[in-house]
Structure 1
C-alpha cells in the first residue's frame, strides 16, 4: 500500500494525505504544467477526498528524466502507477492535455476492470475532435508566444530567461504529445463525464466541448465559465464545488 508522504515515488504527489477518505481524485496537469498546480485543490478537498496529483517526467524535481512526448505511452505509464491506488473508488480530473490523458487512462483502467466514478475533462476538446496544430514545431519564440497567449504560465516565469530555458523542453514535449495525439475509435467509457470549459477559450469551441458526450455511455454534463483557456484560475472555487458535488452524489448512490 502507498505511504502517506507528499511525494510517493516519482509520479504521485499527495500533498494532503487523506487515508480515511472514501474516494480518490487523480489530477493530471496541462502541457508544461506540474503537480503543484493542483495543490489548492488538494488543500480544499482534503480530508473528504484523497487527492493525487501526477508529476510528469522532465520538470521540477524530475527535470533530469527524459520527457514523454507520446500521449499513449504517457497514459500507459500513468495507468501503471495508479494500480497501487485502486483500493478505493477514483475519479480523474485533467486540464487541457491532461484531459485527453485522463480519458486515455480511464480507457485503460476500464479495460483492466476498474471503472472510475467519473472523468472531469477541463479546457480540452473531445478526443474525437481533431485540430491540425503544430506549435511544437515552432522555434522557442513561437512556443513562448503561445504560452503567453493562453496565460497558463506565470508571466514572471516567462520573463526570466533562465527559468524559460529550464521549462521549454518539457513544454515542447507536452505540446508534441498533445498535438500528435490521434483518437483511436473504441467503446465509450462506462463512467460519467463532466466537461468544463471557458467561454472564450481559443482551443475549445462549444461544439468540441459538448462532443465529450459521445465518449460515455453514462451521464454527461457541460459546465461553461467566463474566461479563456485557464478559466479555472479565476473560477477554482466553483470548479472544486462541481467536483465535490459529483463525488458526494456518486458516494451516496454507490
Structure 2
C-alpha cells in the first residue's frame, strides 16, 4: 500500500522558514518533518511513498536523491574524485516525487497522482502534522467500515474544522471546514482511501480544495468513516508550533516517535 503526502503548499503561516525551503522540509530535531511523518508510516510497514510536490520542489527532490550524503559519514578523495560512504543509515523507502504544480490546491494535487496509485487503496496525509497514530489499526477500522474514505478524527481544544460523527457507528454525518465553536471532532489529516475517491475530484481543475466539495460530498453520501484518535496529534502551522515540537524532541518527549 502506498502513502501519499501533500507537500506542495507555500506554508505562508511559517514564512520565517518557508521563504527558503518548503514547509515539509522544516526541521524537527535536525530532520525534516516530512522525514518524521514517513518514519511513522514506515514503523507500520508502509515504505512506498508518493510525495505531491509544488513550491520549491527541488529541495525535496535533492534531499531524497542525495539521502546517503545527508544521513551517513562519507569520505571525498579530491585527488581522484571518488566518494566513499560509511555507516549507511538509509531507509527501506521507495519515494516517488511528483510535480503537482505550483499553485494547485489539495484536490488538484491528489487528482494528479492518480496514475501512480494503480487503482489500489492508498493512505493520504499532509506534510506538516505528526501523531502517535496506529496506522495499522486505522486501516483495519477502515476495512471493517466498508467506507469509501476513512479519516482520523481528533478532539483538540478548538480552532480547527469540525466533523459530526454518529458515535454508535463512527459514520461521519457531516464535514465542515471551520465552523464556529470549540472542542468539536476535527479532521487530523490521516486518511485511508479507496481509489474511487478520485471520482469525487473533477478532472483538469487545479482549483479544487479536497477539504471542501470532495470531502463534503463523500460525507453526504454516507461513505465517510471516522477513526477516532485520542492520543497525540499536532500540526506544524506556525513558528511557535515548530519551536514546541523541537522542544519536545530535545526533551525526549516526542510522543509521535513510535519507531
TM-score where L is the length of structure 1: 0.34
| Greater strand share, structure number | 2
- Bigger RCO of structures 1 and 2 (CA < 8 A, at least 6 apart): 2
| Greater helix share, structure number | 1
TM-score where L is the length of structure 2: 0.34
Larger Rg: 2
